[in-house]
Amino acid sequence: MFIGQDITRVDALDKVLGTAAFAHDLKKNTMLFACVVRSSRPHAMIRKIDTSAALALDGVVKVLSHKDIPGENLFGAIKKDQPFLAEGRVRFKGEAILVVVGVTEEIARKASGLVDIEYEDLEYISDPFLSMRSPTLIQDGGNLLSHRKVIKGDAGKGFESSYVIVENTYSTTWIDHAYMETEAGIGYTDERGHIVVASSTQNIHYKMKEIARLLAIPPEQVRVVQATTGGGFGGKLDVTVEGYIALAVYHTKRPVVMRYTREESFLGQTKRHPLYIEYKTGAEKDGSLTAVEVNIIGDTGPYISYGETVCLRAAVHATGPYEVPNVLVNSRMFYTNNPVSGAMRGFGVPQLALAHESQLDEIAQRIGMDPLDIRMKNALKRGSLTATSQVLNHSAGLLETLKGIEPFWRARRKQGPGSGFGLGCMYYGIGNTGISNPSSCYLTFTPEGRVEMHSGVCDIGQGSDTVLLQILCDALGMEEMGIDLVRGDTDTSLDAGSTSASRQTYISGMAVCDAAQKMREYLEGQGYYSGKPLKDICREAAEKGLPVFNGHFDPPTTAPDPETSQGAPYATYAFATHMTEVHVDEVTGVCKAVKVHAAHDVGRAINVSNVKGQIYGGVAMGVGLALMEEFVPGKTESFDNYYLPTSMDMPEVEAIVVEDPEPTGPFGAKGVGEPALIPQAAAIVNAIKDATGVRMRRLPCDIERLKLALEKNKIE
């Protein structure tokens, strides 16, 4: 059995030895370097561009504008609305205008600084509240991108019958993905005349299609390869360098490299959506939740990216992992001239977790109930109805995660002044929301006597390569891992969809199982399970033409009702509870997360070490979200003024793996990538309240904000 074993990750040795080829490492003979000229204005008309000084610089090969694009100058995962290169108008500071190509990176960057652009400034729509009332339109259809509702029962009547009602407002800010490796790639034309781009990415087939549209060539004439990727977290789902590289290769017919500096990455790439959340919760005297009403206002920047997705997912998850009979949620996403907000680990759910977990603690305090007990009382479980009235018939292990935490919670003891403990719970729908999001793969044999798995899944550090191989070995009943993995290349794989929404173990894992079932039937017919060597079967198959076994899986979901969002938007959900101990120095305002107990229902742990690794990483990101990370448009330029957790900020983490098998998942598995982050910031905020009596409702709760709140609390 390979399922449940902590086998060494298949990419571990190359990464430890430093031999893995990241996008920054890729090189070709006679390669050129490209860089982007970006807008210095948040909102303006471009009146004149003078490239003469740049073109006069020795070593400059091309300066490309939107006029040099042979196909469509638009991209976007949800809707094609963002220009590759601006045409007459820029809508955020950092928007791409030109691509400069030079014989060296130094020359390309120097030339980009010589381009003179004349602007006519337009009104800067700085926040969604201004966007609501301003006559200035950022997009032709208006400044409201999306409005999604969740309506269940009658919230008004629910509040009328409530013993206690708590109302508060919460807010979060922009967060940068801050991956170790910035966006980078290389492109060239192969011997067939096809455009090849190798880049740091989370979705190769999507990038292939966008490049084909940009260049007005058939997709089969584009090849996208995933280079070893140094982190993604959603930031490499959108097109980054790929389009610019492909355009430069198209015009120069030479290999082209592009790699963002950290400053460019901060300036030009997507961020986590800032959300403003008005939250009202009602409960009975015994702690039973009666009604929840939530008003969410989001800032998506000037283009959609994943804004519609975040708007809907935030609404669907707004009540948290609790059974609430009466729900009214209004989630609205507005265009602004701030940075484009896109996909980032959790798609809006970490922001909502801050609100619903804070609300639940306040309810418990008002009625004199233990925070753990109120969560146990209201927890979603088998047979429960979610906020969208989906019945949870199986794999709903929130209670088990609470019970996993319970011994530590009951035994907690404050370690002097400034010591506190907090809980945070979450649930998260695996995969895309209420739409088809399939994955495919195929299996074949090699003449050398091995199984070959072809997969389009992008492993961005989460370990999917290893997990999918473990799934395949068990599905085939193999005693040794005699499998070659061919993946991350559009020429050799079927579309597996994006590495996002914690979907790959569950969805691509099931696609692997489907292909394995077909291969298993073939092997059985050839006598493999009766002792015939695989090498003999492969040799005989090669003589006849190697067979191909295709696998496919698309989770069973229903589209949410457009007016109420009622339905079954996800086939399965992950659940988790985090308990966090903090220590707050009330003199300085410094908060230190000391220890975290993190219990996660993952369905089935294919690789326990991988699961725990995700949890550790999620806790680290949650510490940053809660206490220090904040991108400020126009001010944040690099890590000099963007504060990230270091090893010194990491708490001790005890990961508790709960397995409530999901019958539609591979060997019962679900996902843990985003769930690992979601409850952590909420648990820290609740712990700060326990330690100091101060309730923080804005993230990040950094040193300055916490110190001011502590001083205000002393005065009051």
CATH class as words, domain 23-122+183-259: alpha beta
Question: Can you list the alpha helix ranges (DSSP code H) found in 504-607?
Answer: 509-525, 534-544
93-118 pLDDT, tens digit each? 999 999 999 999 999 999 999 999 99
- The model scores a pTM over 0.85: yes
CATH 3.40.50.720, domain 275-382+399-433+563-715, yes or no: no
Q: 353, 463 in Cβ contact below 8 A?
A: no
As annotated, the residues of the chain forming the CATH 3.90.1170.50 domain(s) are 23-122+183-259
User: pLDDT at position 480, please?
Assistant: 81
User: pLDDT at position 310, please?
Assistant: 98
Whose CA is closest to 617, among 684, 698, 680? Answer: 680
17-62 pLDDT, tens digit each? 999 999 999 999 999 999 999 999 999 999 999 999 999 999 999 9
User: pLDDT at position 713, please?
Assistant: 87
- Sheet with 590-601: list strands edge to edge: 419-429, 573-585, 590-601, 652-658
User: pLDDT at position 447, please?
Assistant: 87
List the CATH code of the domain at 440-553.
3.30.365.10
C-alpha distance across the termini of the chain, in Å = 62
Residue 483 to residue 467: CA distance in whole angstroms: 13
Whose CA is closest to 97, among 79, 71, 117? Answer: 117
User: pLDDT at position 255, please?
Assistant: 98
Take residue 357 and report the two structure tokens written for it.
């977990």
Whose CA is closest to 190, among 28, 316, 378, 365? Answer: 28
DSSP letter for 607, please.
S
Task: Break the chain down into helix, strand, coil percent, rounded to 5.
Answer: 30, 25, 45
Cα four-point dihedral sign 343, 349, 350, 354: positive
User: pLDDT at position 482, please?
Assistant: 84
Q: 62, 252 in Cβ contact below 8 A?
A: yes
Residue with tokens 């430093």, as numbered in its chain:
18
Which residue stretches of the chain have pLDDT < 70?
Answer: none
Residue 481 to residue 459: CA distance in whole angstroms: 19
CA 166 from chain centre, in angstroms, equals 31
Residue 528 to residue 253: CA distance in whole angstroms: 50
User: pLDDT at position 217, please?
Assistant: 98
Residue 573 to residue 430: CA distance in whole angstroms: 6
Greatest Cα-to-Cα distance within the chain, rounded to the nearest angstrom? 85
Instruction: Give one DSSP letter per residue of 194-260, joined into a string.
Output: -EEEEES-S-HHHHHHHHHHHHTS-GGGEEEEEPB-S--TTTTTS--SHHHHHHHHHHH-S-EEEE-
Q: 571, 507 in Cβ contact below 8 A?
A: no
Take residue 443 and report the two structure tokens written for it.
């299996």
As annotated, the residues of the chain forming the CATH 3.30.365.10 domain(s) are 275-382+399-433+563-715, 440-553
216-262 pLDDT, tens digit each? 999 999 999 999 999 999 999 999 999 999 999 999 999 999 999 99
User: pLDDT at position 714, please?
Assistant: 82
User: pLDDT at position 629, please?
Assistant: 98
